[in-house]
Chain A
């Protein structure tokens, strides 16, 4: 364990949300440009969250805040493990726990909209989970370790060996980022059949926790994406990951929402076709 790994991990805890907020800001600007609007300032997400903290928090049950703490705690842990250079699979498990806590918070409020939202979110988790697991499995077969530090030090050819897994991962990344066509658990636009899905009954500081959690999450996902290109060094890998990350915005703006069953089928199919095939062919490729 090198000292810089620790500093990176702690930097994630402190700077992670800021970076995540900037990502969200850029995302909104890009979206606006694609829709021929000017869009808000890059720092708008931060202003939004600061404002949320100023507001009164209304809750259906006091316990919902506890579940949201759990959501944030495990999200931070997941990122901490990742940026520490530790175990990728363990990080994924922590990420899963965090997602379940968010669903519990929504279930706890028990409004029909948050109920449907969290059920759909669970369905989405069921859809993307196998593919997300394939990613560490693929890295393990290539580098012989689940450790992030070993993956970064891996062979520069690993992204080619894991091309199928990368494609599958980009597919489920769209779900994970709650982008259209898979934004069926929480809608960013009001007045839809879902109202606001999971976040319907979250307000004030509770909603702010959710936003901050998502910032962390986006940084973690960007980190995952980076891992594929990591052996090439940050100067090449970072730009590629950013480009791929923001390509999701384009997908978001050019697709209509799918139904949950199509989402589930499509993502399991993608996992099978790209992920599993890639894993099976690995001994041949390498």
Chain B
């Protein structure tokens, strides 16, 4: 209990202290210190709660009452603040203030009702939320550390200076927007802690809306027109989810059937009682985790500074969406609503994996792959067996670490080489070996055996084929997964191919990676490795206790998830191979004669040009394949939006009728 309140309050206070820092140097020190403290607290929490079932905490009557009022006032304050921001909307964005008003009205209608359900346990800790807290504190924290230097350069760049970071600048007062920026980052973390630990649905909703606010503010950070429009789009889409969440709370207050404001009671209601509110909350989860038809807000979020994208894509925001879906997953078990939810995830996975092949912009590739991976997690959540929940939780873990690494590495690369175009990253292994190695580890972590994501896919296949809602459902999901994985393979390998290519021209680049960025990147690289090597540990400490508890309540069918030792041995063998081969290569490199590549003519300038048939010197150029004629992005996206939109409507109507 104390640790939870520490995590929540400390990140809030740290945010304030950082925003109030008198100089850039002090601000940086405070950020590093706060991140360290948060990481330490989350590790202590993990050590105390790993391997054990959930614990629920009741608050004293008086405190609960005060907090109830505070949260209600906070919710109102939030609504007023959002309405204030809405002064800059354009005509066609009229729906945003409307949604704010509707949502606040719904919440007040629920909160002020005379006979509302009593909340016994306001907070809880279980092994899943502990794992989430670890991800939020450590991955999120590292992103904040990376942001210290990144924002420094970002502002210097905006102010037209060439390179910032000299000592005297660290004495300066930080710009107001930058202080507010870091405050928002820590507020974001605090809200995330709130989401994973709150059992009171109203409070959870408040934290939920705080993340919406933070993401809106952070996306619009650069104040360009594009950034502001994209920020409003994110706000609008998330508010649709918010209204749906609020409707679920109203249903749980006034509706027939189940009346409760507690998350665990809602889940315990099972599909017979809790399906309607669960479906409503699932819509909120879909919007937050950027599934189609809501996906475009996450793509628009790219305009924000890279640490923001990294935060939104890896440890916060989208993870809040899938977190709530996995929490509700037992309710969806063996229902048509669950199958429809899985299909929404599946269609999103398929479409975005295909569209990602088209992209040349590294951040867009990452964004589409995030949406695709979240789609996979949603697929698992909709099935709702122990095996799929197991897979979903592991996917969250591996995705958070690898995606944070990739985003930050792309951000740093962009600062170093001045481009985020994949084609411009040719030969990065030779030009910037360290950053290229990190990118490669991140990519391997995203899709290749023996790394974690593949493990998740493996379990998904097994779990889907054991499904039994209707004829052919599991096969359908497994086929979607098979077809969606193929383009994933293509676009990642293509990008890796660019990185490992021998550059045609020497492109010396001496600028070192700034220290704070290097710390964050190296730590995340190690985390990716460690998470993969020690996944059985994460498995027994965090995932199995959670699914076992749900099974003991009879909410999901019990099953034995233990991986056969043989599989684990083989996976470890592969991981060891991936580690030892470069080591052996480095210790005993073969010495072969180096020549320039074959160009079907006499090479003139290394591999860069050759003497062609008519004696003319020809410069060599070759580019990657993007299949833009084969996979038409516009058509694919339309199919996805329409398909997922109708699936969602059917899911809502099916649940209500």
Please give the residue numbers on chain A whose beta carbons come within 8 Å of chain B beta carbons, in ascending order: 1, 56-63, 65-67, 69-70, 73-74, 77, 81, 84, 86-87, 89-90, 93-94, 96-97, 100, 103-104, 107-116, 118-119, 122-123, 125-127, 129-130, 133-134, 136-137, 140-141, 146, 195, 200-201, 204, 206, 261, 264, 268, 271, 276, 279-280, 282-283
Contact = CB atoms under 8 A, between A and B. Distances in A.
Contact of A97 (B449, B503, B582): B449
A254 to B, nearest CB: 27
Contacts of A279: 475, 478-479
A62 B589 contact: yes
Nearest to B600: A195
Contacts of A136: 461
Interface stretch (B252-260, B490-498, B520-528): B490-498
A280 B479 CA distance: 10
Contact of A137 (B465, B496, B607): B465
B597 A111 contact: yes
Interface in B469-512: 471-472, 475-476, 478-479, 482-483, 485-487, 489-490, 493-494, 496-498, 500-504
B467 to A, nearest CB: 12
Interface in B303-356: none
A283 B346 CA distance: 22
Interface string B240-278: 000000000000000000000000000000000000000
A58 to B, nearest CB: 5
Contact of A130 (B472, B482, B592, B593): B482
B497 A107 contact: yes
B567 A90 contact: yes
26 contacts: A1-B566, A58-B593, A58-B595, A59-B592, A59-B593, A65-B592, A67-B500, A70-B577, A70-B578, A89-B458, A90-B449, A93-B449, A108-B501, A112-B620, A112-B622, A116-B622, A119-B494, A123-B625, A130-B479, A130-B483, A137-B475, A137-B478, A140-B462, A195-B600, A268-B483, A279-B478
**Chain A binding site: helix, strand, loop or mixed by DSSP?**
helix
B585 A69 contact: yes
A63 B598 contact: no
Contacts of B159: none
A137 B487 contact: no
B582 A66 contact: yes
A136 B481 CA distance: 14
A93 B73 CA distance: 53
B598 A107 contact: no
Nearest to A275: B479
B198 interface: no
Given A110-B502, A112-B599, A126-B487, A100 B482 contact: no
Contact of B489 (A67, A100, A115, A195): A100
B552 to A, nearest CB: 26
A200 B475 contact: no
A104 B500 contact: yes
Contacts of B490: 122-123, 125-126
Nearest to B464: A137
A273 B596 CA distance: 46
Contacts of B598: 111, 113, 195, 200-201
Nearest to A58: B595
B181 to A, nearest CB: 39
Nearest to A109: B597
B163 interface: no
The 7 A-B pairs at the shortest CB distance, nearest first, are namely A107-B497, A111-B597, A93-B449, A110-B501, A133-B482, A129-B486, A112-B622
**Residue with the highest number of chain A CB atoms closer than 10 Å, among B570, B594, B598, B624:** B598
Given A74-B577, A115-B622, A123-B625, A280 B475 contact: yes
B92 interface: no
Contacts of B620: 112
A233 to B, nearest CB: 25
Contacts of B627: 123
B502 A125 contact: no
A81 B570 contact: yes
A190 to B, nearest CB: 11
A107 B498 contact: yes
B574 interface: yes
B597 A129 contact: no
A73 B577 contact: yes
B121 to A, nearest CB: 41
Given A100-B489, A195-B598, A201-B597, A141 B570 contact: no
B622 A61 contact: no
B581 A70 contact: yes
B448 interface: yes
B84 interface: no
